[in-house]
Amino acid sequence: MRAPAGAPMIVFEQVTKVYDPHIVALRDVSLTIDKGEFVFLVGPSGSGKSTMMRLLLKELEPTSGRIIVGGRELNRLKRSKVPMLRRNLGCVFQDFKLLPNRTAFENVAYALKVQGDSKREIRTKVPEVLGLVGLSSKMSHMPDELSGGEQQRVSIARAFVNHPPLLICDEPTGNLDPDTSVGIMQLLYRINRTGTTVVMATHDREMVDKMRRRVIALDDGSVIRDERRGGYG
């Protein structure tokens, strides 16, 4: 995913997504997100935030329009190349999506195993990234032995262990209390400062207002506002 310098990280060109039979999730959305940006995606439930996330992961196909991620046009990407795309995209979800029967270490290691990393690489990279998210002491804990905030840290560690150029977060603080959320946001902010583009869908008004970052507001599938240093509105 080496896009040419200065090229945008994400481009949506007149993207429309219609679910069967007539539910319009996204309506003619066009936007550009540059490398290194930190972007909030806000809007009420059902406004199309999650659909945008899932389109970026090629979990869904747009009904019409073009999506370009890191210089790659997703419409033209073969299904067999989708795993390659996902290895270069970190994603963090509201419900963490950890593998329940594996320890924190193994959950992060899985992201490396799928791309064929050696045991030695796994043994160095995983503790390093778990240290980064502050979980060095809980590597051998199972997900259900960890608090919500800790589970989300594991999932961020898994998303970031490959140092992807783009991190997609779908309401990462949605299930967490405000104090824990602040910790997660600080972590995402630090990741952003390493040069990783972060796109984050959220409902958290206070957080958005405080961060003063670019805010893209969606309503009923359309972009109604796109501000460089916006608030939740």
**Binding-site ranges for another protein (CB under 8 A):** 57, 59, 80, 83-87, 91, 97-102, 110-111, 113-116, 158
> Rounded to the nearest 5 degrees, what angle is found at the Cα of 93, between the Cα atoms of 89 and 99?
90
Smallest distance from another protein to CB 171, Å: 15
Q: Do 136 and 153 meet the contact criterion of CB atoms below 8 Å apart? A: no
Closer by beta carbon to another protein, 33 or else 111: 111
Q: Residue 161 corresponds to which tokens in the numbers above?
A: 């262990």
Closer by beta carbon to another protein, 155 or else 202: 155
Smallest distance from another protein to CB 54, Å: 10
Closer by beta carbon to another protein, 99 or else 224: 99
Smallest distance from another protein to CB 154, Å: 12
Half-sphere exposure of residue 116, counting CA atoms within 13 Å on the CB side? 2
Closer by beta carbon to another protein, 71 or else 83: 83
217 burial class (0-12, 13-18, 19+ CB within 10 angstroms)? Answer: buried
Smallest distance from another protein to CB 110, Å: 6
Closer by beta carbon to another protein, 143 or else 230: 143
Maximum Cα–Cα distance across the chain:
51
Cα distance between residue 35 and residue 70, in whole Å: 9
Would strands 10-19 and 23-33 be described as parallel, antiparallel, or unpaired? antiparallel
Smallest distance from another protein to CB 91, Å: 6
